[in-house]
Amino acid sequence: MQEEGVNRKIIHIDMDSFYAAIEQRDNPELRGKAIGVGGSGRRGVLCTASYEARRFGVRSAMPGFKALELCPHLILVPVRFEVYRSVAAQIRAIFGRFTEKIEPLSLDEAYLDVSHWRSDSESIAREIRSQILEETKLTASAGIAPNMLIAKVASDMDKPNGQYAVAAEQVDAFMHELPVSKLWGVGKKMQEKLRQHGITLCGEMQKLDKIAMSRRYGRWGIELYDLCRGLDPREVKVHRVRKSISKETTFSEDLRDVLALVPSLRRLLEEVKEAYGGQYSDREIKSLVVKLKFADFTRTTIERATHEIDSVLAESLLYEGFERGAGKAVRLLGLGVRLAEEEDEKQLEMF
């Protein structure tokens, strides 16, 4: 193991098309075929799609009917959350062989801090992926970097079944040529706004100072100032005393139909249930929260008192939040619970 005080070694592991890959693993007839998980019925929405389907433009959060228009031979498969959770537990057990510093983001991805290892982080990531493949018959991709921001970006650079490393001395060059679309929170509308100002790469954004960024893009501009430089002081957090548990998802395209949000809400509900049952089941639930961020970056948060993670209440809060948006398209959906034994201070800041 290495001495304290050196650069951090962060690995972001992202399973490849997790739900679809499990379905193909468990059903040999689906292997090599275009499948979509979820999306049953005309108004149903896909949770994910296999890589064979993605070649036709099929993607997560897409209505099933649209996916079938793009890929008529697409096979729609119902979701099996119990199976996905069981496999996710296997994978997290593998992570635990390498580090105690694990921060899961969802069932299919997590940050790992392996700074305590003397071994190079690329070798560690390769071994983790190898053990996942051997024990679950599923592939994973990895990003390796000095911080969480760059590790997550890097994990998408060599998908599927690959890994990409950015060393500390490579950060400046890596960020300079990185498309702004790779930064979290920069959707299509923000990309277009930046493009109008001649900005498509992080290096072009770096030419603006904080004042200019703030004037052009408000508070979000100040955050972008750090993001485009690859600056991220966050640490991988585990076993912390939490006031809340939350999960969220950002859509690749803004959604204008509240029904299109329901499958994602249900998936987030299952992930929150898993997180609560895994570490916090001894803490009573005080309230349920749904958060919506709209295409114009305004947001609304709806909270209701409850002692359980209730799907009916969650959908009710979703509809109420959507109505508050007065028809605005939704770019991000979040769901969470507030836990008891904490002081009721201010509006929940879990996201």
141 and 67 assigned to the same domain:
no
Calculate ∠ Cα 321-326-332, nearest 5°: 50
pTM > 0.75: yes or no: no
> Could you tell me the two tokens for 59?
């993607």
- pLDDT at residue 252 in the model: 79
Indicate whether 330 pLDDT > 70.
yes
Q: Is 109 a catalytic residue?
A: yes
**Which residues span the domain enclosing 256?**
244-339
Q: Can you tell me the mean pLDDT for 2-22?
A: 81
CATH of the domain at 207: 1.10.150.20
- Indicate the range of 107-121, 236-250, 281-295 predicted with least confidence: 236-250
261 and 322 assigned to the same domain:
yes
1 lies in some domain: no
CATH of the domain at 158: 3.30.70.270
Indicate whether 171 pLDDT > 90.
yes
87 and 51 assigned to the same domain:
no
4 lies in some domain: no
254 and 329 assigned to the same domain:
yes
CATH of the domain at 71: 3.40.1170.60
235 lies in some domain: no
332 and 293 assigned to the same domain:
yes
Indicate whether 16 pLDDT > 90.
yes
- pLDDT at residue 347 in the model: 41
At a CB cut-off of 8 Å and minimum separation 6, what does 336 contact? 244, 245, 246, 247, 272, 288, 289, 291, 348, 350, 351
- pLDDT at residue 278 in the model: 59
314 and 250 assigned to the same domain:
yes
157 and 121 assigned to the same domain:
yes
204 and 248 assigned to the same domain:
no
Name the region of 185 (left: φ>0; alpha: ψ -120 to 50; beta: rest).
left
Indicate whether 234 pLDDT > 50.
yes
- pLDDT at residue 63 in the model: 81
Do strands 102-106 and 109-113 pair parallel, antiparallel, or not at all (unpaired)? antiparallel
Catalytic residue among 109, 271, 274, 303: 109
288 and 299 assigned to the same domain:
yes
Q: Where among 116, 149, 167 does a domain terminate? A: 167
Number of domains in the chain: 4
pLDDT confidence tier of residue 246, bands split at 50, 70 and 90: confident
| Percentage above 70 pLDDT, the chain | 91
* pLDDT tens for each residue of 34-58: 999 987 665 577 888 999 999 999 9
239 lies in some domain: no
Q: Can you tell me the mean pLDDT for 124-144?
A: 97
